[in-house]
């Protein structure tokens, strides 16, 4: 019976890991969206104004944003403010996978200032 218990515990652990990995969003996918002019139906890529995420290094830790005359209370709202006002796209669901990937990418920029980007360009 011991083996069955070990197998069960391992299985639960793997499931939890998968759930956490998905819930946390995928920074690599977020970066792809960030560079995509068609993201959220827009006409401009986020990277057109924030090349390589420049200027967003602190955004992952902020509680309040002021973008283009508005106040945003979360990173998701800030992303949507830029989608609507800057990219001329449509706001996306704050809980959607795309938003979580985008947020994961922006959070990954933390401390990137002054360092060479990992992608090598
Ligand atoms: C037309 C230019 C433009 C485009 C395109 C753009 N932004 Fe912005 N963004 C700005 C400006 C201007 C600000 C406010 C000033 C600032 O904080 O740099 C800003 C602020 C932000 C902030 C808050 C930064 C902070 O620390 O307060 C985030 C997050 C952000 N943008 C994400 C995005 C994302 C994600 C996209 C793509 C969906 C995007 N932006 C597209 C111009 C743009």
For tokens 């069955």, the residue is 4
Using the mean position of ligand 1's atoms as its centre, give its distance from the Cα of residue 19 in Å. 29
Q: What is the mean pLDDT of residues 47-65?
A: 95
Residue whose CA is at the smallest distance from ligand 1 atom 18: 55
Task: Examine the pLDDT at 115 and tell me if it is beyond 60.
Answer: no
Q: Which has the closest alpha carbon to 50: 112, 94, 95?
A: 112
Predicted pLDDT of residue 111: 72
Cβ-contact 92, 80 below 8 angstroms: yes
| pLDDT attached to residue 16 | 75
Q: Which of 6-10, 35-39, 53-57, 91-95 has the lowest mean pLDDT?
A: 6-10
Nearest partner of 98 among 34, 53, 50, 43, judged by Cα: 34
CA of 50 to the centre of ligand 1 (A): 7
Q: State in Å: Cα 82 to ligand 1 middle.
A: 5
pLDDT confidence of residue 21: 60
Q: What is the pLDDT of residues 57-81, one digit of tens each?
A: 999 999 999 999 999 999 999 999 9
Residue 106, classified by CB atoms within 10 Å of its CB into exposed (0-12), middle (13-18) or buried (19+), is buried
pLDDT of residue 20: 63
Per-residue pLDDT at 25 exceeds 70: yes
Number of other CB atoms surrounding residue 6 within 10 Å = 10
Show the ligand 1 pocket: residues with CB < 6 angstroms.
Answer: 39, 44, 46, 48-50, 55-56, 58-59, 62, 65, 67, 75, 78-79, 82-83, 86-87, 102, 106
**Measured in Å, how far apart are the chain's first and last C-alpha atoms?**
54
* Both structure tokens of 111: 């401390």
Percent of the chain with pLDDT over 90: 70
Are the C-beta atoms of residues 105 and 34 closer than 8 Å to each other? yes
How many angstroms separate the alpha carbon of residue 115 from the centre of ligand 1?
A: 21
Summarize the confidence of residues 35-40 as an average pLDDT: 96
**Which residues are within 8 A (CB) of 26 and not within 5 positions of it... i.e. 6 or more apart?**
100, 101, 104
Of all protein residues, the one whose alpha carbon is nearest to atom 1 of ligand 1 is 86
* 116 has pLDDT over 80: no
């Amino acid at each position: 019976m011991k083996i069955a218990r070990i197998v069960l515990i391992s299985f639960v652990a793997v499931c939890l890991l998968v759930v956490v990995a998905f819930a946390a969003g995928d920074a690599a996918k977020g970066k792809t969206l960030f560079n995509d002019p068609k993201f959220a139906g827009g006409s401009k890529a986020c990277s057109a104004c924030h090349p390589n995420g420049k200027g967003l290094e602190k955004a992952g830790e902020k509680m309040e944003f002021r973008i283009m005359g508005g106040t945003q209370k979360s990173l998701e709202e800030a992303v949507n403010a830029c989608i609507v006002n800057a990219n001329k796209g449509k706001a996306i669901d704050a809980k959607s996978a795309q938003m979580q990937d985008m947020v994961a990418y922006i959070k990954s920029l933390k401390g990137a200032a002054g360092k060479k980007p990992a992608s090598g360009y």
